[in-house]
A = this chain, B = another copy of it.
Amino acid sequence: MLTPAQQRTLDFIRQYYAREGFAPTLAEITLGLGISSKGSMHKQVQALAEAGAIHLTPGRKRGIELIDEVESQALTIPLLGRIAAGHPIEAIPDQENLNIAEFLLGPGRFALLVQGDSMIDAGILDGDTVIIRRQETADDGDIVVALIDDESATLKRFHRRVGNKLELAPENKSLRPLVFEAHRVRIQGVLVGQLRTY
């Protein structure tokens, strides 16, 4: 069971690794998390290693290795091909199976049931399930789950605005974007998937 600081650290290492292709240094982690002591960070990283979340090669620079999560079990469905109105189904070479687990499961993800039509123009309907990856920051244009005033949650498209303000825009022509001071909004995660059953 990870502590909050450990979880933040792990999330940062994962993101860094995904972005750069190699592990961060202690100094980079401290910087990324707004801490100033790499000694303290060393403690965190050690704790992560003991918890089995990462593997460390002592002394080595950038010596952090991520430990693969439980291998995603085979959860595949045959992918027949591409369908476009008015054409035959076109087979997709070298990809006869779709691994759903790989698409939707992963560390730090959770699902939410969407209620309401505010994202309908983005193809997210009332009753759909969305898959969210937990993270506290977002890029401009991401669809995020945001907590406003630590109270009401909402799924909206995220934009930065001048003057330390944020815009949360629904994808529905009949609704208007909302603009908030940055400090009132806490991002809880970004949309990584969506699914629906009939």
Listed in ascending order, the chain A residues whose CB lies under 8 Å from chain B are: 1-4, 6-7, 11, 18-23, 57, 61-63, 65, 70-75, 77-89, 92, 98, 100-101, 103-105, 108-116, 118, 120, 123-125, 128-131, 134, 143, 145, 151-156, 170, 188-198
Contacts and interface: CB of A to CB of B under 8 A. Distances in A.
A112 B82 CA distance: 6
B1 A65 contact: yes
A20 B1 contact: no
B3 A81 contact: no
A155 B135 CA distance: 36
A134 B2 contact: no
Contact of A78 (B110, B170, B190): B110
B112 A83 contact: yes
Contacts of A61: 3
Contacts of A83: 112-115, 130, 145, 153-155
Given A83-B114, A85-B118, A197 B103 contact: yes
A75 B70 CA distance: 10
Nearest to A92: B113
A152 to B, nearest CB: 5
A80 B131 CA distance: 10
A154 B84 CA distance: 6
12 contacts: A1-B63, A2-B21, A19-B110, A74-B75, A79-B113, A83-B114, A83-B115, A84-B116, A87-B152, A100-B104, A100-B195, A123-B123
Nearest to A104: B100
B101 A100 contact: yes
Contact of A3 (B22, B75, B89, B197): B22
